[in-house]
Amino acid sequence: MHSKKTVLAAAFAAVAALTLSACGSGSDPATDDSVAEVSSDAGSEPATVLDQPFTKPGLVLTDTHGKKYDLREQTKGKPTLIYFGYTNCPDVCPLTMSNIAIAKRALPEADQDKLQVVFVTTDPERDTPASLGSWLKAQDPGFTGLTGDFQAIQAGARQIGIGIDPPKKEKDGTVVSMHGAQVIAFSPKTDKGYVLYSEDTTAEDYTEDLPELIKGETP
């Protein structure tokens, strides 16, 4: 197993709120040559075990089928990974989802069915249920995508130490979204978020940890 460090959830939240990834995407994808500017992470280890785990955020949003989705109710008692990002992100978001998808495919089918991967958009104005659904389907058809009111999403992210700024359009037409790039794993036993993964986490890291996360154990 790769090494982990342990921190207090409150201490992590204070740092993570200042640790955002700037993902830029131009208004015309065909001519867009922007890249993401990634800030330094709170730590160098791929995974951080939280000494005081987070409570799952009370988010009620809309899924990719246009239906109401209560995050707490619909993931209750299930191993859950939560990530906040957006589909027009040129690198960090798709890489994170791809790494998780690769690791998920390495699991036995029964464990694949148990694992809940929830992607909450930080750009709900552009990420409609249909566009979000199409993007996630290319990553893994089993992933859940959620969209809705930006302020509700921002407040929910803050509950687990993830900072999000409203998408901003630059003078050159580039849309920049600032968001924390951490993935938080919630235990099926307690529904608490107790392991945090940085944007540097590889597919191999997730592959190593997922079997234990699914059992509610600390990897």
Q: Which residues pair with 24 in a beta bridge?
A: 176
Q: Which pLDDT score, from 0 to 100, does residue 4 have?
A: 53
The yes-or-no verdict on residue 76 having pLDDT over 70 is: yes
Q: pTM of this prediction?
A: 0.82
Q: Which of 43-47, 165-169, 176-180 has the lowest mean pLDDT?
A: 43-47
User: 58 and 72 in contact (C-beta within 8 Å)?
Assistant: yes
> What value does the mean pLDDT take over residues 154-182?
87
126 or 22: whose pLDDT is higher? 126
Confidence of residue 36 (pLDDT cuts 50, 70, 90): very low
Please name every residue paired with 122 in a beta bridge, in sequence order, or none if there are none. none
Local confidence band at 191 (pLDDT 50, 70, 90 cut-offs): very high
- 113-150 pLDDT, tens per residue? 999 999 999 999 999 999 999 999 999 999 999 999 99
Contacts of 31 (CB under 8 A, 6+ apart): none
